[in-house]
Each structure stands twice: as C-alpha cells, then as structure tokens.
Amino acid sequence: MTLFQILIPFLVAPFVPLIGKKREGRELGIILAFIPFLLFISFLFEFINLKPATITPEIYQWIPSIGVDLAFRSDGLSLLFGLIITGIGTAVFLFAGGYLGKGMETVKFYIYILIFMGAMLGIVFSDNLLLLFIFWELTSFSSFLLIGFKHKYLASRYAALQALLVTGIGGLSLLAGVILINSVTGTFSISAIISDPSMLRESSLLVPIIILILGGAFTKSAQVPFHFWLPNAMEAPTPVSAYLHSATMVKAGVFLVARLNPVFTGIGLWNDSLMIFGGATMVVGAFLALKQTDLKKILAYTTLSVLGTLIMLTGYGSEIALTTMIVYLTAHALYKGTLFLTAGAIDHSTGTRDVRILGGLLKKMPFTAYAGIVAAFSMAGIIPMVGFVGKELLYETAMSGEPALFFGVLFAGVIMVYSAIQAGIHPYFAPEKETPLSPHEGDFTLTAGTVTAATMGLILGILASNLLTGMVSLAVSPVAGKTVDVSLGLWHGFNIILLLSLGTIIAGYGLYTVREKLYLLPQVYGPLEYLMPSKLYDKALNLLMFTARGQTSFFQNGYLRNYIITIFATALLLVGGYFFYHLDLTELVIDPSMEMYEAIAGVVIIAGAIIATVAKSRLYAVMALGITGLGVALVFILYGAPDLALTQLSIETLSVILFVLAIYKLPKFLKLSNRNSKIRDLIIASTMGVFITFVILAVYVHEHSTELKNFFAAESLPGGKGRNIVNVILVDFRAIDTMGEIMVLGIAAIGIFGLVKLVRKGG
C-alpha cells in the first residue's frame, strides 16, 4: 500500500505532457492537485486508524544480495510528515498552475515537482537506510532542477549548483554513515536498528557514524555553517520555495535526526552537536533576517532559524522538548507554506516583493490578506493559533535548559514576531504605495490553498487539547523511542511563560517601528553575512575548477603521441615495476624449438613492425601495419583459433581502408620528432614490448584454473545449443558483456561522427 502511494507521483509524472500540452496552467494545476489531495486523504485515514502497537513494516525484496529491500514503515512520525508533504503539496500544486501560466515550462515544473513529492514521501516512509538514501539523493536532484528552473539566469544556475553540491556532499556523508552502520549491525533496516541499538551504541565506530549522519542532516536542513545555500535557493519560483525550501525538503534533515533519535539519544556527542549547531542556526538565521526587505528572503532566513530550533529541540531530548519539536514543526509547515504562497500571490499581482513599497493590499486582495494575517499570527505566536501552542512549549523547554540557549530562543522569538509583521501584516495595513503592477486578487487557485492552510493553523490551535494532542502523541513516540503522554492545551493561565510571550510580541513590534534603521544594517554587518562559509564555498569551487582545468590541459593535450606515452609509462611504472620486482627468471620456461611456418609468421610480424617505424610516408606505414596484422591472423590460424583469425582478417582489411580515408584528411607527412624524442620513444616502446613478452612467458609458468574452460566446453552444446564455443560464449553465456560492448561500439560511432563534423564546422 505504502509502496503504491509513493509510486503514484512517479507514475503520473511521464503523463503530465499529455495532460498539460493544450491546457491552461490553472486547469493543469487543478487536475494534478488531486494527486497530493487523494494521497492526503489516504494518509489521513491511516493516521486516524493508526495503532502504534501493531505497526509492521511493509517489505518487498529488491536487492537481497546486499540487504536492500523496499521496506516501508508508516508510524506516526512518517504519517505526520506524509500529511504535511501532501497537504502543503495540494496547496502548492493548485497555486503553481495559476502562478506560472500556460506552456511547456509549466509542464516541466509539474514533472519535477511530482518527482520531488514521490522522493520526499520515500524518505519519510523508508524503513531501509539505503532506500532512504536513494530517495534523499532524489530530492537533492529534483531540488536542483527546481531551483534552476529559470535556467536562463546565471543566479538561478549558481544557486541550483550550490544547493546540489552542498546537499550532495552531505548525501555522501550520509551514505558513508549508513554503510558504517551496516558494517556494525549487519543490517540496513531502520526498525531493526531502533529496536536493538545497543550494538551501535557500544561500537568503536559510534563517533564517526554520528558525525557522518549529522553531516547529511545538517547540510540538508541548512544548519550553520552550511546554511548559505538556502537563502540563495530563493531564486526558485515561489511555489518551489514554499514547498521544498520551507515546508518539506529542508525538514528532511530534521526528519532523519528525529527518526534516528531513539538510537543515539543520550550520547553526549549526539545531543550536544544537535543543541550547538541547532542553537547557532536559530540565532544566526534570526539575526540575518533583521535587515531583509525582500518578502522571500525574510521568510527564508526565518526558516533557517526555525530549522535550527527544531534540531536544537531534538538535541534537548526530553519528552517535552520532542513534543515541542513536533508541534513547532507542524505549525511552521502551515504558516510558512502559507506565507510563501501569499508572498507569491503578492508578487504575482503587484510585481514586487519589496516590503518597503508594499502596502494597502487588505481591500485589494482580501482572501490573500486573510491567509497572510492568520499565518502571521501563528508565526508570531499569538493566541489562539497553533503557533502560540508551539511557542509556549518552546519557552517552557528553553527555561529548563542552558541559559545561553534560553536567551537565544528569546532573541529568535522576538525576530520571529518582527518578521511575521513584515511578511504577513505590513503588506495589507501599511499605507498604499506605487507598485509596478496595479494589485488585484488572483482567482481561487491562488487563494484556496493559502486560506485552507492558514485556517488549519487556527483550527489546530483551538482544538489543541484534543485534535492536536492526538496527532502529536502519535508522532512523538517514534522520536522518543517510547510512548509519550502528551497533553496540550491552548490556555495555561497567567504565568511567566505567557509574560515572556507577551514580552517578545511587544519587543518584536518595537523592532518593526524602527525597521527603516534595520534595513540599513548591511552597512554595519554586511561583511558578516559573507563571512566564511559561503566565501569558502566559492573558493573551494574555484580551486576545483582551476585544478580541473590544469589537469585537463596537461593530460588531455590533444596529442595522441603524448597519450600513448602517458599510458605506457604509467603501465610500466605501476604494473611493470611490480611485475619485474616479483619476477623469478629461473621459473620461466623458454622453448626455442619451432616449426618453419611458425618462424615465417614471426618474421612477417616483426618485419611489418620495423618497416612501419622507418616508413617514409603514411601510406607505407599503414600497409606495413597491415602486414603485421595479417601475420597475427596467421598465428591465430596456426594455433587453432579460426574465429579470431577470421575477425582479425576482416578488421585488418577495414582498418587499412579507414587509415587511408583518414590520411586523406591529414596534413602533409612531416618529420616532427628530433633525435632525443626518437630515443625516448624507442626506449618506452621496447620496454613495453619486453614487458608484454615477459608477461606472456610468466602466464605460461603458472597453472591457471581450467574450471571455466571445462565448463564452457561441456555446456556449449547442451546448454547453448551450439558447437562453436567462442560464439556461444559471446551470444549466450556472456551475452550481457557483448550487449555492453556493442553499446560501446554504437556510442563510438556517434562519437566519431560528432568529432569529424565538429572539426569540419570549426575548420
């Protein structure tokens, strides 16, 4: 069932061009929005009927030889993420069609985002670490395509590549961690690892495993110092930012940490790293959000801050902290997805995202305004939103922990209020100003999703004590690794936490009143933002390019003679050196007796080779080489390999023709080599010849296994129904090899065609 649910987006993706070719963007959006919507309904039913005690993984064999199964697990955590992915997905699918309009670009967009949705569902439902990794990489890949969606712009391509490289390196780190886990426990199954973590926890590889896994999670969830890719990723179309870079993909790191938390929690390195890096991201993200004037950038930096908060909360590890994490995560997905989409709707209708010139949209865009305001209330943590429940819990958790983190939480809380006012209140209530386009409300595809998502945040807040409590308790138990009693409420009476809440709201509003001064902050701390990580990334990338360029011009210098020298010299130094070092001359058996006809074949081959080297023109050289080739064919005949001889004969004939045709195009034959290079070539060539000769002699000394030979000889007729063993091997026993070889041949033909055509065009 889960397998089917995950496969649906992948199965639909190829048909999008058919559905979307002739349709308006909004029509296509409405049709395709049914896919996440129906999945949402199916997850909802599963979630309602979920009985934590009876969860059994759903397993299909895939690659049993290395223990990779299509194993899925739908527990509370996966289903909550599944609901967020498909729920926000429905809003985004609906929105994007109207936002992007008609055309092939929109079709492409839906293909990418369907692939992304499938991959993201794959991550959260996987019960196999390698399977999870595959989906993980697939999200990085689809994110690359979506960030670079406006691929004509340099900034888009730069941001796409940056996101791919940063999350890609993290992906490799995750893969290494997964392999280490497998080497310790002997399994990739997440259920198995969680149910018996003792082997991992006592392993000597525990420290590298934790570091590698966190490397994957921190890059994906944009934790300091890898945070820089996320704000740049805002180059993507707004629906993508809402979906991937706020509600779902960037939470994959948080999900991974939450999923594996029962295994590692209690280990100092795990909890401390989560708290330190998460806390740092929370503060840095909030701080960088201060000076932003672009709606999307404001939302991006506050997303960073929230991601940090979620990671930090997991690091606290207590039941209340994990409960907070789940509530906060749900609240964030709802309000941030909404705010991103309202930002997109505002951009769509006014032509700008600059908060300094936005205002007075309340009457012009009433539905968008409703969604934006409700979401902003949730973001600011104002009663009765679900964000309020999350914020109360957050302050409660923070008060029990490190004072430094407590102040960090308060700092981020204030800026969250400030940013919420900017993104969700200011555009509607500020005095109206001149905007590039005259503002108007979009049709229902641009408003339905945001209104619903914002209202969900309101409902979950009001029903905190039953609906939210039920959801969260199912989702938090898998994170804690035990059953957690959750009892949430909207109203906790007048206490210190409420006072703190009130304080942050007032302080946030205070910041808003002095916003004009904050916008000038770049002059004060501008260099800070460009401090190390992103600069380091640029430097590393430049260095890589520089090295690649140098290496290419050194090795791929375009001179065939240099290639051959490099290949031969490398072979001689590495293989030849080892070979001669271990060679026992006394072992070699040299039988000098030979028949007359053998001697003749030998003389023909050698004579051909010598003539080729001293030939005065290319044509002579080619013919001399042909003689050598025919001599070799003669040897094949003499030693009973008619198949080889036949092929060799045809090949020789054809290559002489090829050479002649190629020579026709070459410049005049010139003597380019001087005395020294001739001597060098002579030495390399003869050493190579000697080396090969000794290799052949050495091969004869050692008994080699006759098992294969006997097998093929015995099985050729009964198994392969042919008496020609060589051919039966080629087309039956080892047909897959041949398949690969002929594929290479075909590609080579295309390559030669391309080379010759390109040279012709260039010349």
User: Which residues of the chain form contacts with another protein (CB under 8 A)?
Assistant: 642-643, 646-647, 650-651, 653-654, 657-658, 661-662, 665, 720-724, 726-728, 730-732, 735-736, 738-739, 742-743, 745-746, 748-750, 752-753, 756-757, 760
Residue 209 or 725: the one with the smaller Cβ distance to another protein is 725
Least Å distance, CB 718 to another protein, is 12
Least Å distance, CB 717 to another protein, is 9
3-state SS class at 59: strand
Burial of 272 (0-12, 13-18, 19+ CB in 10 A): exposed
Residue pair 120/140 in contact by the 8 Å Cβ criterion? no
Least Å distance, CB 649 to another protein, is 9
- Angle, nearest 10°, between helix axes 675-701 and 560-571? 40
Q: Is the peptide bond before 384 cis (omega within 30 degrees of 0)?
A: yes
Residue 22 or 723: the one with the smaller Cβ distance to another protein is 723
Least Å distance, CB 544 to another protein, is 35
Question: Residue 589 is encoded by which pair of tokens?
Answer: 């058996």
Least Å distance, CB 641 to another protein, is 9
Least Å distance, CB 656 to another protein, is 11
Instruction: Find the helix or strand (DSSP H, E) in which 60 lies.
Output: strand 58-63
Residue 606 or 739: the one with the smaller Cβ distance to another protein is 739
Residue pair 334/385 in contact by the 8 Å Cβ criterion? no
C-alpha–C-alpha distance, residues 426 and 355, integer Å: 8
Least Å distance, CB 471 to another protein, is 46
Q: Which residue has the tokens 């705010």?
A: 339
Among candidates 245, 96, 377, 351, which has minimal Cα distance to 369?
Answer: 377
Residue 506 or 713: the one with the smaller Cβ distance to another protein is 713
Residue pair 284/230 in contact by the 8 Å Cβ criterion? no
Least Å distance, CB 449 to another protein, is 44
Residue 684 or 731: the one with the smaller Cβ distance to another protein is 731
Residue 240 or 622: the one with the smaller Cβ distance to another protein is 622
Going by C-beta distance under 8 Å and a sequence separation of 6 or more, which residues neighbour residue 124? 77, 78, 81, 82, 85, 255
Question: Residue 133 is encoded by which pair of tokens?
Answer: 């990794």
C-alpha–C-alpha distance, residues 354 and 396, integer Å: 35
Residue 566 or 617: the one with the smaller Cβ distance to another protein is 617
Q: Which amino acid is at 114?
A: L
Least Å distance, CB 374 to another protein, is 56
Residue 363 or 757: the one with the smaller Cβ distance to another protein is 757
Among candidates 70, 225, 97, 241, which has minimal Cα distance to 540?
Answer: 225
Least Å distance, CB 61 to another protein, is 15
Least Å distance, CB 562 to another protein, is 23
Backbone φ and ψ for 68, nearest 5 degrees, come out as -100, 110
Dihedral, CA of residue 457, residue 460, residue 462 and residue 465, to nearest 10: -150
Q: Which residue has the tokens 């308790």?
A: 473
Instruction: Find the helix or strand (DSSP H, E) in which 705 lies.
Output: none
Instruction: Find the helix or strand (DSSP H, E) in which 135 lies.
Output: helix 129-147
Question: Residue 529 is encoded by which pair of tokens?
Answer: 């933002």
3-state SS class at 739: helix
Residue 536 or 657: the one with the smaller Cβ distance to another protein is 657
Among candidates 108, 100, 171, which has minimal Cα distance to 135?
Answer: 171
Residue 402 or 643: the one with the smaller Cβ distance to another protein is 643
Residue 614 or 750: the one with the smaller Cβ distance to another protein is 750
Least Å distance, CB 627 to another protein, is 19
Residue 430 or 726: the one with the smaller Cβ distance to another protein is 726
Among candidates 29, 14, 68, 11, which has minimal Cα distance to 445?
Answer: 29
